[in-house]
């Protein structure tokens, strides 16, 4: 319709400007961290004056929230396509590491230091659930007959977070260890805690992954 066409044109413009803003924001974050993000600097880069950006983002926190949303979406999509291409748990681990190394600050926007007061909006936690579901699926597909663990039996009664998922508790336990262990190696690597130690973080990551995939005796 004509009325819709005009609205759509404006919406397109808005979306394009918003996209350019977030693009510049990602550059700033990659080089100086999220705390150094400046709306003023972005506006100056785009040839606009500072307050103009407030037509597109209500506040600085609003922009950062959008960046967090994009980060979650990017990770979810990365794992989704990897899974759709037939990747198993090891393949997902490789995808996760590649995604993290491509932009460490983006990883930390998802899994890094939280701001005490901040609570992510519902749509972001929904994306987080999708990420977890993808990983739980891969865990369930990998080992339908893994050994029983004490924590696994505990999870039988505490699997609300996996509601609607038919994976056995051992698969949930495997997911949790997969998540926490790989995050442990990755976050310390990205934060630079291995630099100067003379060891290759990739090999430590691989060793942890091997341990995760090898069934316990």
Partner DNA sequence: TGGGTTGCGTGATAGCCTCTAACGAACCCT
Partner DNA sequence: AGGGTTCGTTAGAGGCTATCACGCAACCCA
Other beta carbons within 10 angstroms of residue 106's beta carbon come to 22
| Number of residues lying near DNA (CB under 7 A) | 29
Q: How far is the CB of 192 from DNA (least distance, A)?
A: 22
Q: How far is the CB of 14 from DNA (least distance, A)?
A: 5
Instruction: Tell me: does residue 24 bind DNA (CB under 7 A).
Output: no
- Residue 89 in contact with residue 139, Cβ under 8 Å? yes
Q: How far is the CB of 121 from DNA (least distance, A)?
A: 16
Backbone region of residue 173 per phi and psi (left: phi > 0; alpha: psi in -120 to 50; beta: other values): alpha
Contact pick of 73, 80, 149, 165 for a second copy (by CB under 8 A): 149
Distance of CA 37 to the CA centre of its chain: 20
Q: How far is the CB of 140 from a second copy (least distance, A)?
A: 17
Contact pick of 27, 32, 33, 58 for DNA (by CB under 7 A): 58
Instruction: Tell me: does residue 52 bind DNA (CB under 7 A).
Output: yes
Distance separating alpha carbons of residues 194 and 197, to the nearest angstrom? 5
Cβ partners under 8 Å of residue 42, min gap 6: 21, 24, 25, 28, 53
Instruction: Tell me: does residue 1 bind a second copy (CB under 8 A).
Output: no
Contact pick of 18, 45, 179, 213 for a second copy (by CB under 8 A): 179
**Residue 34 or 75 having the CB closest to DNA:** 34
C-alpha separations of 4 from 9, 11, 62, 93, 204 in Å: 8, 10, 27, 44, 55
Instruction: Tell me: does residue 17 bind DNA (CB under 7 A).
Output: yes
Contact footprint for DNA (CB under 7 A): 2-3, 5-7, 9-10, 13-14, 17, 37-41, 43, 47-52, 54-56, 58-61
């Amino acid at each position: 319709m004509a009325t819709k066409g005009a609205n759509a044109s404006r919406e397109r413009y808005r979306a394009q400007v918003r996209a350019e803003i977030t693009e510049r924001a990602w550059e700033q974050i990659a080089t100086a961290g999220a705390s150094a993000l400046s709306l003023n600097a972005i506006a100056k880069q785009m040839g606009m004056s500072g307050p103009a950006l407030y037509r597109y983002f209500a506040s600085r926190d609003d922009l950062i929230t959008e960046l967090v949303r994009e980060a979650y979406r990017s990770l979810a999509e990365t794992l989704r396509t990897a899974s759709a291409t037939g990747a198993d748990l090891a393949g997902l681990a490789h995808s996760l590491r590649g995604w993290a190394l491509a932009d460490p600050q983006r990883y930390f926007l998802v899994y890094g230091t939280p701001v005490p007061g901040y609570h992510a909006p519902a749509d972001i936690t929904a994306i987080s659930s999708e990420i977890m579901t993808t990983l739980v699926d891969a865990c369930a597909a990998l080992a339908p007959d893994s050994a029983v663990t004490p924590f696994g039996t505990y999870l039988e009664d505490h699997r609300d977070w996996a509601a609607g998922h038919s994976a056995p508790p051992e698969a949930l336990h495997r997911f949790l260890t997969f998540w926490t262990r790989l995050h442990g190696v990755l976050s310390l690597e990205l934060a630079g805690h291995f630099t100067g130690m003379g060891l290759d973080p990739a090999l430590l990551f691989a060793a942890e992954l091997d341990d995760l995939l090898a069934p316990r005796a």
